Amino acid sequence: DVKVTQSSRYLVKRTGEKVFLECVQDMDHENMFWYRQDPGLGLRLIYFSYDVKMKEKGDIPEGYSVSREKKERFSLILESASTNQTSMYLCATRASNTEAFFGQGTRLTVV
Amino acid sequence: QKEVEQNSGPLSVPEGAIASLNCTYSDRGSQSFFWYRQYSGKSPELIMSIYSNGDKEDGRFTAQLNKASQYVSLLIRDSQPSDSATYLCAVPPLGNFNKFYFGSGTKLNVKP
Q: What is the pLDDT of residues B27-70, one digit of tens each?
A: 888 888 999 999 998 999 999 999 999 999 999 999 999 999 99
Among chain A residues, the shortest Cα distance to B6 is held by: A42
Q: What is the pLDDT of residues A29-55, one digit of tens each?
A: 999 999 999 988 888 999 999 999 999
Residues of chain B positioned with their CB less than 8 A from the CB of A95: none
Residues of chain A positioned with their CB less than 8 A from the CB of B102: 35, 42-43
For chain B, the three-class secondary structure string (H helix, E strand, C coil) is CCCEEECCCCEEEECCCCEEEEEEECCCCCCCEEEEEECCCCCCEEEEEECCCEEEEECCEEEEEECCCCEEEEEECCCCHHHCEEEEEEECCCCCCCCCEECCCEEEEEEC
